[in-house]
C-alpha cells in the first residue's frame, strides 16, 4: 500500500500547479465551497493512478488544485466510503497521498443526522470529538511509517482551529453547534432506536464518513478541523422518513454558511 501511495503522490507532484499545505474534503451536497475555489488544475479520480472512484450521488469525484481567498488549496470534491465496498485503506488512501504532497492542515465536512434534541435541521455542528463505530480502524494492519503504532487521539480535532471557527461564526452571526460525531458503516440510515442509543453514548450527530480520514490524518501529524451539516433528526417520538435527496437539499441550503466559515479560516 505504501508503494502505491508513493506512486500516486509522485504522479500528482509531476502535474500539480501549486504547492498547497491546506486540503479540504467536501462531502454530500457540499459543493458551494468548491465553486469559490479559483481552479488551476482538476484531476478526475478515474485519471489518478491507484485512486478509487466515488459512486455516491452528490459527489463529483475530482481532485482540485487552486486558490481560495488567495491561498493555495487542494480539495477533494467527493470522498470514498466503506459502504461502497472499499477497504479502510482505500477509503483513506487520498489522505495518505495528501501527506506525501505536503499537506499540514485538513478540513473535513459532511452531512449528518442529529441525535441531540437541541439541534435543528440545517444547523452547523463543529466537531469536537468522534466515536468510531465502524467495524474496522483504518490503522489496522502494518504500521505505515508516517506516525506511531499507537497514536494518541486526545485532540483529534484542533482546539485552535475550533476557536478560530467560533470567532468567525460570531463575527458573521452564523449559528454553530458543537458536538461529537459518530461514524457508522452504512449504507442504511439509522433506526430510531439506534439514534437514541447513539445519543445515550454521547453522540450529537451520526454519519457514514469523516472519522477514518481524521484518524489517518492525525496519525500523519496533520491538523484537523471538521464540520457537519445536520440534515435530518432521528430518535424522536415521530421520526421523520429520510431519503438521500432530502439530505442533499438540506445540505445545499446550509452549505453557504459553512463555506463562509471555512474560507475565512483559510484566509486568516
Q: Looking at domain 2-267, what is its CATH homologous superfamily?
A: Nucleoside phosphorylase domain (3.40.50.1580)
| pLDDT at residue 32, rounded to an integer | 78
pLDDT score at 163: 98
H-type alpha helices, 71-189: 88-91, 93-100, 159-172
DSSP assignment letter at 106: E
Instruction: Give pLDDT, residue 268.
Output: 64
| pLDDT < 50 positions in the chain | 58-59
Model pLDDT for residues 218-231, shown as the tens digit of each residue: 999 999 999 999 98
Closest CA to 82 of 8, 159, 136: 136
For the record, the C-alpha cell of 211 comes out as: 472519522
Cα 216 to Cα 210: distance, rounded to the nearest angstrom = 10
DSSP string, the chain: -HHHHHHHHHHHHTT-SS--SEEEEE-TT--HHHHHSEEEEEEEGGGSTT-----STT---EEEEEEETTEEEEEEES---GGGT--HHHHTHHHHHHHHTT--EEEEEEEEEE-STT--TT-EEEEEEEEE-SSS-TT-SSPPTTS-SS---TTSS-HHHHHHHHHHHHHHT--EEEEEEEE---SSPPPHHHHHHHHHHT-SEEESSSHHHHHHHHHTT-EEEEEEEEEEE-SSSSPPP--HHHHHHHHHHHHHHHHHHHHHHHH-
What length is written for the chain? Answer: 268
d(CA 103, CA 211): 18
Q: Cα–Cα distance between 41 and 4 in angstroms, integer?
A: 22
> Model pTM?
0.92
| pLDDT tens by residue, 134-185 | 999 999 999 998 999 999 999 999 999 999 999 999 999 999 999 999 999 9
Amino acid at each position: 500500500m505504501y508503494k502505491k501511495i508513493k506512486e500516486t503522490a509522485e504522479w500528482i507532484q509531476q502535474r500539480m500547479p501549486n504547492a498547497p499545505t491546506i486540503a479540504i474534503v467536501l462531502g454530500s451536497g457540499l459543493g458551494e465551497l468548491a465553486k469559490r475555489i479559483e481552479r488551476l488544475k482538476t484531476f478526475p479520480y478515474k485519471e489518478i493512478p491507484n485512486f478509487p472512484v466515488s459512486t455516491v450521488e452528490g459527489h463529483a469525484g475530482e481532485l482540485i488544485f487552486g486558490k481560495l481567498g488567495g491561498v493555495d488549496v487542494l480539495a477533494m470534491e467527493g470522498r470514498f466510503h466503506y459502504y461502497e465496498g472499499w477497504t479502510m485503506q482505500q477509503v483513506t488512501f487520498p489522505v495518505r497521498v495528501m501527506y506525501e504532497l505536503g499537506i499540514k492542515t485538513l478540513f473535513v465536512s459532511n452531512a449528518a443526522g442529529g441525535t441531540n434534541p437541541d439541534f435543528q435541521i440545517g444547523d452547523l455542528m463543529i466537531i469536537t470529538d468522534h466515536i468510531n463505530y465502524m467495524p474496522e480502524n483504518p490503522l489496522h494492519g502494518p504500521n505505515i511509517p508516517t506516525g506511531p503504532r499507537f497514536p494518541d487521539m486526545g485532540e483529534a480535532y484542533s482546539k485552535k482551529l475550533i476557536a478560530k471557527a467560533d470567532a468567525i461564526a460570531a463575527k458573521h452571526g452564523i449559528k454553530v453547534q458543537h458536538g461529537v460525531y459518530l461514524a457508522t458503516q452504512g449504507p442504511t440510515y439509522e433506526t430510531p432506536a439506534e439514534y437514541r442509543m447513539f445519543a445515550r453514548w454521547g453522540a450529537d450527530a451520526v454519519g457514514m464518513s469523516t472519522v477514518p480520514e481524521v484518524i489517518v490524518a492525525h496519525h500523519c501529524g496533520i491538523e484537523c478541523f471538521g464540520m457537519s451539516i445536520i440534515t435530518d433528526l432521528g430518535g424522536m417520538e415521530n421520526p421523520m422518513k429520510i431519503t438521500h435527496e432530502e439530505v442533499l437539499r438540506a445540505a445545499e441550503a446550509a452549505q453557504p454558511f459553512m463555506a463562509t466559515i471555512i474560507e475565512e479560516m483559510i484566509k486568516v
